[in-house]
Every structure is written in structure tokens, then in C-alpha cells.
Structure 1
């Protein structure tokens, strides 16, 4: 039984209901010297079932962990091979395989980064018509999607409707086609690395920038120029998107941060002054003026993102540009991020190049 999906959720709900019923039935039947211990045990079991329902239900909605291997570590991802995507670029190709577990238009591969040494998974969604013979020479812009923590790349295709929202925006004429790339950001199980290159490893930023880009460029018909590559993330992923665009303007020209922080939150980064400064959006904007565009999205009710936006905006200087998309209401959740996606895709379409023949 998978960690995601209805079977597990239904099973824990049944257990949560059956537990109190069994407790009522057995309460007065437990007698003797073990009566107190037995009744305490029944109470604890009922509480455990209740906590399980809450945990599984939250994971079902937010998809913090997509599989048992994501939860306990050691998983490498992948799926059943169906077809190999035609490659562009040079060098050794990575085999991306289609998997129905996420989305029929999503391909996945486990990649070892040549520069970072990180071995992890990348999901790639191709837009409608990508495989059509009529579009065989069409190349596409890319939006790299970054989840929050804890979270997995498949969150972008379930709880957060990354592909659905793009297809709807394309159908309405508000966005042009993109290839969506969702890499694993939690490359070390249980460790929130906040997309940082740590001295001595792991080199997470290098994985998410150079290595992911190289793997995707070699396997798909994507435009390699920075003007065709953007970043978008929510929560921790939003912070990562802004930070990496500022640090790597040679690779990206636009970034959308949805309720992202302005500075690192991980204690091990905050304890290292040099590392903190190198990865703080605020410190970077004080010393860097890269030719990039930022969309800062948040809500007035989410104090963290509202504070981050108010800290970032005064530091933006040309040629860096920043745009605001602030909703009056909304918490820090998938419903808010989904409501932001149509505007985000329209904004990215106005700043990243459109598909064109190679």
C-alpha cells in the first residue's frame, strides 16, 4: 500500500473509528491486576490512530512525502520504462522514463550530477503537442519548479496544480507552452538544505542549477539560453527560486517566489556567517544587481511572506526588477499557491522566450 492515495487514508480512518468502538466494548471486560494498564493501552492506541489520521490526511493533501522511501530514505525514484524522449544537446544522455504514477505527461530519471556529485531524481512535464511530428523541431522554454520543505517534486503535479494551471493558461491564451522541470531539493533525507552548497557537501545549489539544467538540456528539446529559463517555488522553494536567480543570472532570467523567505532559516546556515550572507536574498541584493526579474507573491495574512516582500523591495535596483502580487487574504498553503499560478505563468510568459524552431 502506497503512502499516497486513498487506500492508506481510508485504512487509517477505519482504524481511528474502530479503535474507540473496541475501547468501549472492552473497557469493562478488562479486569484484574492488568485492568489499569490495559485501559491505558487502549487509550494510547486510540490516540495513535487519531494522530495517524491527521498525519496521513495532511500528507495526502500537501504531499510532503510521496512514497515510503521518501519518508524513511533510500528511495531512488524512477518508473516503468515506456519510451525515451528525443535528445538535444551533446554529451552523455540520461534516460528519462514516462511514469503514470505522477502524470502521463511526466518523465522521470535518477541523475548523478557531474558537478555536484548529488544523485537524485528529476521530474519533467512536457506540454501538449511536444511529441507531435509537426513539432519535431520545436524547442521550448523551461520553468524549474521547487517545492517547500518537507516536500517532493511530485507535489507540483498533485497538491499544487503546476501542469493543470499551465494547460488552462495556455488554453485561455494567457501563457505560452513551457517544459516544467521539478527536481528533488531534499537530496539528503530529513535535512532541509535550503538549496545551499555546503562546504564539504552536499552541493545542492550546484545540483539544482548546473546539473539539472545539463541533464534536461541533453534529453529534451529545450532552449539553452538564460532568456528561456525561469524558476518558480513556494515556501522554502520560493526562497530558493529568488536566491538562485540572483546568484546565477548566467542561467536564469526570471523567478517567481510564492510566500518565500528573504533569508535562510536552517540553523546550520544561520550559524555560519559567511554561508548565511552568501545565501541571503537581502545580502545578495545589497551587493548584486543582476539583470533578472522577480515576481514576489504573497498574502497580507501570511506575515512571513509579507515581511519578506517588504524587506526585499527597497533593495531592488536596476537592472534587477521586481513585481508584486499580494493577495489580501490567505494562509500558507496549497490553495493559495494554486490561486497564484495563473498570474505567475502569465508573468513568466511575458519575460521568457516563447517556443520556436531549432
Structure 2
């Protein structure tokens, strides 16, 4: 069973309850003096506490996506790199792994609830391969909707799991509901984690002499997905959205690559890449590269791109609030000079850097995003 699987969490909870019940039942027999009985009581208490900690820890990991697998948890992730053939047609750079239904009320048929497909996406330019969960809305399978769809790349934080976007933040379920309520058009969601070379946190940077993560997300993923699915292939058809590290990636990739994304949504983002033990040296010691990945610096020194941005924060409980206000003010000053970058924001009165806060923000952000993407013109 997988680390983040529901059955794993339920099994841990059942074991904890059974051990607690057994301890209560057997406690009278363990009463009394003597080393064996004292050790038995200590052992029973330790077993109960360990099982409770394990159950709570597994539930927290499933909810917040700290670790994606047992290998990730124990630091034994050693998957070899994937060789990518550059002459492979783009449509064949997506490999279907499995399909699953969307957990929404009503029929489980794809025409009613949509479908989630787990795929592996190979990057021709970056030579990176990573898995994704692709949400296809019900309209994708209906005979009357043969047009191509807009798409959004949705990224987790670090070291998050892609499953957390489905089970914790509930992106597919929220998009399904909003479309049903007429608040946004149907779109394809490509859900991924930014950690494509675990365990390193690359902050979606093309690392000198290292993984070209930015190239993978801005060139390889849109090209492969557009060739495999009925998805538009222009920047006006693509958005990128993410939380925390994924929020920084969304903001940065939209600003740096308006040829790939026309809309970016950043939930609780930072505005520059950190340098710490999880990232290593992302810029090869280059101050120029580091500045170019600093969004505040870009607003002051680079041409403003023709994109729409949405940033979120909270007045209380969120560490990025002051930086978010500064960022908004900078873009507003550019607007006043006629520059093409557009900014919107969602500021909560209070809310921490966590799933509960982001779940409050996602519906409004998806609605905003969906109504700024253009529907593709091509027909099939």
C-alpha cells in the first residue's frame, strides 16, 4: 500500500483503535508489581502511543502532501533518469499509466463526472520525465463538445505530492462544481509537483549544469499535452497555477514565458527563489541569473509582459503579505504607465500557509482563471 493511500491511513487508524482497546481490556491483568508486569505496561503504552502518532502522521501527510512515497519518506529515492528520444513525435511523449473516476456526486460515467488520467510526460528539450494527473472534464467526452479545451498547469508546493491536489485541495471536484454552476468554462487540468528530480527543490529553475526544470514546464509539458489531448497549443489557451513553491513557479513562469502562459495564479507565493539545503546552488553562482528569477527585480528592470496575474495572501498568518502588497503596487504603477501586465489579488483577513487557507481561495481563483483563458479556435 502506498504512503498516501486512503487504505494505508485507515489501516493505521484501525490498528491504533485495536491496540488501545486491547490495552484497556488487558490492563487489569498487567496490574501488580514485578519487572515483567511493569515492562508489559510500559510496552503497551508505547505501542498505543506509537500507533496513534503513526495514524495521525499518515493522515497529516495525506492531507498536506509532505512525502509522496515510502522511498521519499526514508530518503531512498534513487530512480534512474529517463532517456528521451528527441525524434519521438510530441503526441507519443505522453504515456498513459492508469485512469480513475472523479469523486463527485452523481454518476461515475466520464460524460457526467469527467476522468482523471495518470500519465508520464517526457520532455524532449529538458530530458526530464515526470508523472502528472490530468483532469478531463465531462464535456471532453460528450459528442457535442468536440472542440479543443483551454488548460491549466497546476503545481503543488515543495515537497508536496500530486495526489494532494486531488484528495486535499480537490481541484478536479472544485472545477467540476464551478462549471456545473456556470461560473467557469470547462478546462483540462494538468496536475503535477514541481519536484521533478527528487529530492532536490529546483524552484522551477533551469539550473546551470543541472536539471532544466523551467524548460520542462514551459516548453515540454504544454507541447506534449497539446499534442496528446484536445487542448489548445497557444499561450492564450494556457494558464499555470500553484501554491507556495508552486505559486512562485506559476508567477515566475508566466512573467518569464508569456509565449507559453497568458495567465498565472500564485497562492501564497514567494517572489524570489530561496537558497538552502533543499535547493543547493540554483544559479551556478551567477548574480545575473538570480536577479532574473527575482520577480520584484523583474518588475523594475525588465519589460512588462502581456499577461494576467493573480496573487493571494492573508493579512494575518501569512508570511508573504507585505511582499504581496509591494508586488501589487509595483504592477499597478506599471499599469498607470500603460504597461500590459494586469494584476488581481485575493487577500484574506486571516489564514495560514496551509491547505485550509488555499481551499478557501481555490474556487474564486479557478473562476477568475477560467474566464481569462481563450477557448482554442481549432476544431477536430
Q: TM-score, normalised by structure 1?
A: 0.84
> In the TM superposition, what whole-angstrom CA distance separates every residue of 1:178-220 from its partner, at most 9, and x where no partner exists?
1111133212222222212211212111111111112101101
**Deviation readout 1:274-293 (Å, 9 max, x if unpaired):** 34323222222222211111
- Are the aligned partners of 1:64 and 1:155 in contact in 2 as well (CA < 8 Å)? no
Report the alpha carbon displacement of residue 133 of structure 1 after superposing the two structures with TM: 2.8
Q: Does 1:330 align with 2:351?
A: yes
| Aligned match of 1:276 | 290
SS of the aligned residue for 1:230 comes to strand
| Count of matched residue positions in the alignment of Structure 1 and Structure 2 | 344
The equivalent residue for 1:83 is none
SS at 1:311 equivalent:
helix
| 1:280–1:166 Cα change, 3 Å | same
1:108 partnered with 2:118: yes
Q: Does 1:349 pair with 2:370?
A: yes
* Aligned residue number for residue 58 of structure 1: 60
Q: Work out whether 1:221 is the aligned partner of 2:254.
A: no
Question: What is the deviation of 1:162?
Answer: 0.9
Matched, 1:314 2:329: yes
Alignment pair present for 1:287 and 2:287: no
Mapped pair 1:157 → 2:159: no
How far off is 1:256 after superposition? Answer: 0.6
> Cα 1:270–1:4, aligned 2, differ >3 Å: closer, same or farther?
closer
Using the alignment, how far apart are the partners of 2:126 and 2:324 within structure 1?
Answer: 31
Give the corresponding residue for 1:4.
Answer: 4
In structure 1, the residue matched to 2:77 is 73
Q: Secondary structure at the match of 1:300?
A: strand
Distance 1:10 1:347, change over 3 A: closer
CA separation in 1, counterparts of 2:55 and 2:32?
27
Q: Distance in 2 between matches of 1:171 and 1:209?
A: 30
Report the counterpart of residue 242 of structure 1 in structure 2: 251
CA RMSD of aligned residues (A): 3.0
**Alpha-carbon separation, structure 2, partners of 1:314 and 1:302:** 21
Q: Would the aligned equivalents of 2:128 and 2:196 in 1 still touch at CA under 8 Å?
A: yes
Q: Distance in 2 between matches of 1:174 and 1:239?
A: 26
The reply on whether 1:301 has 2:301 as its aligned counterpart is no
Cα separation, partners in 2 of 1:133 and 1:302, compared to 1, 3 Å: same
TM-score, normalised with respect to structure 2: 0.80
> Could you say what secondary structure the match of 1:150 adopts?
coil
Q: Quick one: structure 1 residues 18 and 133, their matched pair in 2 at CA, closer, same or farther if it must change by over 3 Å?
A: closer
